[in-house]
Amino acid sequence: MNPTYEPTDVESEWYAKWEEAGLFRPEYRPEGEPFAVVIPPPNVTGALHMGHALNHTIHDVIIRRKRMQGFAALWLPGTDHAGIATQNVVERELAVEGMDRHELGRDEFVRQVWEWKRVYGDRITKQIRRMGASCDWTRERFTLDDGLSAAVREVFVRLYEEGLIYRGNRIIHWCPRCETALAEIEVEYRDQKGTLTHIFYPFSDGDGGVTVATTRPETMLGDTGVAVHPDDDRYTNLIGRKVRLPIVGREIPIVADDVVDPEFGTGAVKVTPAHDPNDFEIGERHDLEKIAVLDAKAVVTAAGGRFQGLDRFEARAAVIEALEAEGAIVATEEHQHNVGHCYRCDTVVEPFLSDQWFVAVAALAGPAMDAVRNGDNRFVPERWEKTYFHWMENIRDWTISRQIWWGHRIPAWYCPDGHVTVARTEPSTCDECGSADVVQDSDVLDTWFSSALWPFSTLGWPDQTEDLERFYPNAILITGFDIIFFWVARMMLMGIHFMDDVPFHDTIIHGLVRDAEGNKMSKSRGNTLDPLEVAEEHGADPLRLALIQAANPGQDVPLNMEWVEGTRKFGNKLWNGTRFVLRSVEPGSVPADGGYPEQPGEIDAWILSRLRAVSERFDELCDQYRFSDAFGLLYSFTWSEVFDWYLEMSKGALAGEGTAAATRQTLGVVIRDVIKLFHPAIPFLTEELWMNVVGDGFVAGANWPEVPEYRGPDEMEDLQELISGVRRFRAEQGISPRTDLVLRVHGGEGVPHWASRLLTDLAAVTVEAIASPPTEGHTRIVAGRFQGFIPLEGVIDTDAERERLSKRIAAAQQDLDRVEKKLGNSSFIDKAPAEIVEKERGKQRELSDVIAKVQAQLDLL
């Protein structure tokens, strides 16, 4: 082995070897219980970001551990065609060449997108491999591949036949930049300052009129009514009268509708049925005309008269100017309101009247909620169930058609008479009238429609494949809280409806990766970290370990690069610890399983008992998805107990005639099992170490540790405290480790020979067992059942030591007085949170204990 750990050298070759050996396929454990998870498919346009790195590390820790535990583990990878995002990328490239998609035509444009996908589409999958993700690439899927496309069409047709998919002319969210419909959850709302404009609408049959308030005065060009609440006394006598629309001249009625909020503005609202969802509903109830004054690009139409051709924001200024010239503006005021933006391009969205396809999802929501209520699916942490239920209980019909070209084209055809034929294969004639002149709908489906089918479509549905039978439902889903609506809920809707079972049993929600100060990572802040750059500089394994050590469910990860540097140092510690073991253990001689000593010495039995206890607790924590706690425990055990204590203890045992063989055997199995336990988080490094320690097969395909039960000596913890006490005394007094000291030990049932030897080896002391404690001239070390006394004559300046101990007591007493004053304040006790009061009481106990111990040492002088 090289003298130092170099991650980039270690990580360069193992992935290809794992793939070649078929380790990532469930067939590697053909008799194992199935355990499947699908990757949240990244966009084909994407590059790996730190959120991916966290998500994939959690996936990989789970799937590698399950594989080692004997499961037929499948982590199914793939990518999403990302309709709007991918089309935007290719359109930008065309724009650089002075072209647009309409010049190319649909077929040629789609061909060019496929070519772009062929050239760049595997970029992110290469990055996923670089980070060590153990996906079964032989089963890789793409949401537009033939099999998934067949599944999408089958689902669409079935839902249509069941009356759950329909086409309707309704107000939808529209992005004028992308020129496509958006679903409700694809709109991101932000508080913005706007202006509330009060406009006077005069009666058409006499003096007076009504004042309405609006944040979008340009849409008044399409007003076909004014609405008031039926119980609003200010307006009850005006219901049924007509007003004249300023600058337009159109007569429009005043109607009464319960949806109007009397507290908003003047209590009278303009009604624009073609440009507001509430107004659309009012218009339906009162048979008001729908006049579209903005087109698909948010430009004023001919219906807008003299404002035709103006952009919506230009039109807003022009309309206000015209209203002012007519004297119709009563007042203006600043107004804070929520404004919707396109989740892809950040353009302000428009409510737009359009023919679109919808899924009536309310009919599917009941079973999806029941599945969580009855425990068929559970959220980890449980608090995210509230978010899920809130959305499900307030679910609205899902707009699934998109006015773009890249995606699953809607399987609906129209004849000249307007009849619709929905079919699994392209029809030759209209189902209703038999016309041979049928044209397919030009829209494509929302990207999330195909993503909603991902857990079963990737396994071969609608065909009844072996994979579908074996791996559905998936065991778990791991995702961020930000796509519970976009993805998790929709997979539940579709999975239960088409498979009659939940798509996964556990939904594990992780937080966001933030910067060290807790800020969200974003390009605008300049605080993003590229995981590939971090991996090249520090190694993928150190980054993975840093992420997983912070990854408890639902908690954000404030990633500090010092963590990555720390885990890199730990990797070096593991490397050097293994090198130490291999000085005593023949490289490649440790068995892949078993090999535990039958008659271990005391120190060997101690470390083996600790290995068993830690591995059992580690498994409990992993099964609860508490990876931060699990790997924190393992990290601490390996660094402190294995390396700092046991490796030091083993040096004396290796030199002994009766203990060397058992200690060599113990060293081998302990380092092997530590390698196994760490493998899911740091796969590259552990595979390299496995090659040197075991030399046979792969740790990626090895069995999970099953440590036999051992009883370690009860005195070990107390002996460690004695050793630490002696070392602390040396450090405080500046005494060299090479200077012999006498340690007189009292307590317990005496000091066994092995313990005496351990104290001599690790503390450089001559041990004397004493029947009663001395009364003066010693410093005392309290260690559980033992008390250790070091005679001070000729070792230290006792006067200086008295002074040091007295100062320590005085400082502790000062702190104690401060704490007791606070605890004596009834106002603090009554008003402070209980945990703060208890913390102060803990300080009180701790300081009192310190004073008592140091005073005892002082008395001994």
- Residues 508/623, Cβ–Cβ less than 8 Å: no
Partner residues linked to 718 by β-bridges: none
pLDDT class of 408 with cuts at 50, 70, 90 = very high
List the structure tokens of 151: 């599944």
pLDDT value at position 54? 93
Q: Which of 63-72, 113-122, 593-602 has the lowest mean pLDDT?
A: 113-122
pLDDT class of 523 with cuts at 50, 70, 90 = low
As a whole number of angstroms, the distance between CA 666 and CA 600 comes to 8
Q: How does pLDDT run across 165-207, given as a tens digit for each residue?
A: 999 988 889 999 888 888 777 888 888 888 999 999 999 988 8
pLDDT value at position 211? 95
C-alpha angle 184/407/100, rounded to 5°?
100
List the structure tokens of 78: 């793939």
pLDDT class of 412 with cuts at 50, 70, 90 = very high
pLDDT value at position 532? 92
Of the ranges 117-126, 403-412, 653-662, 742-751, which is most confident?
Answer: 403-412
Of the ranges 78-92, 207-221, 675-689, which is most confident?
Answer: 675-689
Q: What is the 3-state secondary structure (H, E, C) of 789-823?
A: EEECCCCCCHHHHHHHHHHHHHHHHHHHHHHHHHH
Alpha-carbon distances, residue 70 vs 28, 135, 613 (angstroms)? 9, 17, 21
**HSE of 423 in the Cβ direction (CA atoms, 13 Å)?**
15
Q: What are phi and psi of 600, to 5 degrees?
A: -75, 150
User: Quick check: helix, strand or coil at residue 46?
Assistant: coil
Q: How does pLDDT run across 196-252, given as a tens digit for each residue?
A: 999 999 999 888 999 999 999 999 999 999 999 999 999 999 999 999 999 999 999
334-338-339-343 Cα dihedral, nearest 10 degrees: 150
pLDDT class of 777 with cuts at 50, 70, 90 = confident
DSSP 549-584: TT--TT--EE--HHHHHHHHHHHHHHHHHHHHHHHH
Q: What is the 3-state secondary structure (H, E, C) of 95-164?
A: HHCCCCHHHHCHHHHHHHHHHHHHHHCCHHHHHHHHCCCCCCHHHCEECCCHHHHHHHHHHHHHHHHCCC
Q: Is residue 854 pLDDT above 80, yes or no?
A: yes
pLDDT value at position 192? 87
User: Mean of the pLDDT values across residues 584-594?
Assistant: 96
User: Mean of the pLDDT values across residues 533-556?
Assistant: 91
List the structure tokens of 8: 């980039």
List the structure tokens of 840: 């102060």
pLDDT class of 524 with cuts at 50, 70, 90 = low
As a whole number of angstroms, the distance between CA 72 and CA 300 comes to 60
The model's pTM: 0.85
User: Mean of the pLDDT values across residues 448-458?
Assistant: 97
Residue partners of 525: CB distance under 8 A and separation at least 6: 515, 519
- 856 by Cβ neighbours in 10 Å (0-12 / 13-18 / 19+) ranks as middle
Q: Rg of the chain's alpha carbons, rounded to an integer?
A: 36
Q: E strand or H helix at 788, and its extent? A: strand 786-791
DSSP 363-375: HHHHHHHHHHHTT
pLDDT value at position 466? 97
For the chain, the average pLDDT equals: 93
User: Mean of the pLDDT values across residues 448-455?
Assistant: 96
- 798 by Cβ neighbours in 10 Å (0-12 / 13-18 / 19+) ranks as middle
Q: Which of 96-105, 124-133, 372-381, 535-544 has the lowest mean pLDDT?
A: 96-105
pLDDT value at position 695? 94
pLDDT class of 785 with cuts at 50, 70, 90 = very high
User: Mean of the pLDDT values across residues 679-694?
Assistant: 98
User: Quick check: helix, strand or coil at residue 318?
Assistant: helix
Longest dimension (CA), the chain: 117
The pLDDT > 90 percentage for the chain reads 74
Of the ranges 468-477, 519-528, 547-556, which is most confident?
Answer: 468-477
pLDDT value at position 520? 81
pLDDT value at position 670? 98
As a whole number of angstroms, the distance between CA 727 and CA 746 comes to 19
Residue partners of 56: CB distance under 8 A and separation at least 6: 39, 128, 131, 133
pLDDT class of 521 with cuts at 50, 70, 90 = confident
Q: Is residue 748 pLDDT above 80, yes or no?
A: no
CB burial of 551-572 (b: ≥16 within 10 Å; e: otherwise) equals bbbbeebbbeeebbebbbebbb
Neighbour count for residue 574 (Cβ, 10 Å): 25
Nearest to 88 by CA among 32, 46, 26, 142: 46
Residue partners of 189: CB distance under 8 A and separation at least 6: 338, 339, 340, 341
As a whole number of angstroms, the distance between CA 770 and CA 767 comes to 10
Alpha-carbon distances, residue 372 vs 378, 498, 508, 516, 649 (angstroms)? 6, 17, 13, 35, 52
**HSE of 145 in the Cβ direction (CA atoms, 13 Å)?**
16
As a whole number of angstroms, the distance between CA 818 and CA 814 comes to 6
As a whole number of angstroms, the distance between CA 307 and CA 300 comes to 6
Nearest to 763 by CA among 783, 785, 747, 777: 783
Nearest to 120 by CA among 83, 75, 76, 90: 90
Q: Which residue has the higher pLDDT, 612 or 514?
A: 612
